[in-house]
Amino acid sequence: MRYSTTHKEQTRQKLLESSGALAKRGGFNATGVAGLMKAIGLTGGAFYNHFPSKDDLFTEVVRRELSLSPMAQQPMNRQRLERCLDHYLSLAHVHNPEGGCAIPALGAEIAQAPLPVREEAEHWLRTLQQAWADTLEDPDLAWALLSQCVGALVIARMLANPSSQQEVLKASREFLAGALHESP
């Protein structure tokens, strides 16, 4: 039975969305094609109707996840950036990796992925950095803030005790507030 182009695109989008959430929760490489397809109610064999390979799916997951980041959207003003940073560095974000930023959740896997995946990630990271650099009028500060945010979230997720997690997040928010206050 042939499906319409619309049905095929809807299935592809469901697969991307589901794969992004699964990858951010448990790692992309840890979930096989059969598991990715089962999550949307299809068999593993149907996967290749949508993507030539799992690496191609990973490239698309990275594109989708990073392109949807509210922190990379223009226009970005200082107040909005500060609100985004507060939300990013929150216990809610620490405890909800599947609904949050893909960078801390998938960064290590992206670093080991084939070149197309890393190029896609670089494109969106540069887009994010440029949005922040335009707002802050300082490209180096934008990279430093981005790195601080991702690192703080990774470290907070590594810790077992919520009060330790909160301590890391609070210290990072205070550090960022100071850096933002000192910048032009």
Q: Which tens digit of pLDDT belongs to each residue from 7-48?
A: 788 888 999 999 989 899 888 888 888 888 888 888 888 888
Same domain, 96 and 162: yes
For the full predicted model, state whether its pTM sits above 0.95: no
d(CA 171, CA 152): 9
pLDDT band at 56 (very low <50, low <70, confident <90, very high): very high
Same domain, 49 and 137: no
**59: in domain:** no
Q: Which tens digit of pLDDT belongs to each residue from 104-133?
A: 999 999 999 999 999 999 999 999 999 899
Contacts of 118 (CB under 8 A, 6+ apart): 110, 111
What is the arithmetic mean of pLDDT over 149-153?
Answer: 97
Question: What are the CB-based long-range contacts (under 8 Å, 24+) for 121-127?
Answer: 121/62, 121/66, 124/62, 124/63, 124/66, 124/67, 124/69, 124/72, 125/66, 127/66, 127/72
d(CA 139, CA 129): 7
pLDDT surpassing 60 at residue 1: no
Same domain, 94 and 149: yes
d(CA 138, CA 182): 12
| Total count of domains within the chain | 2
Which pLDDT score, from 0 to 100, does residue 64 have?
Answer: 92
Q: What is the CATH number of the domain that holds 49?
A: 1.10.10
Same domain, 71 and 142: yes
Q: What are the distances in angstroms from CA 61 to CA 20, 22, 89, 93, 110?
A: 6, 11, 23, 19, 11
Same domain, 86 and 115: yes
Which pLDDT score, from 0 to 100, does residue 78 have?
Answer: 86
Give the domain range for residue 114: 64-182
Same domain, 44 and 74: no
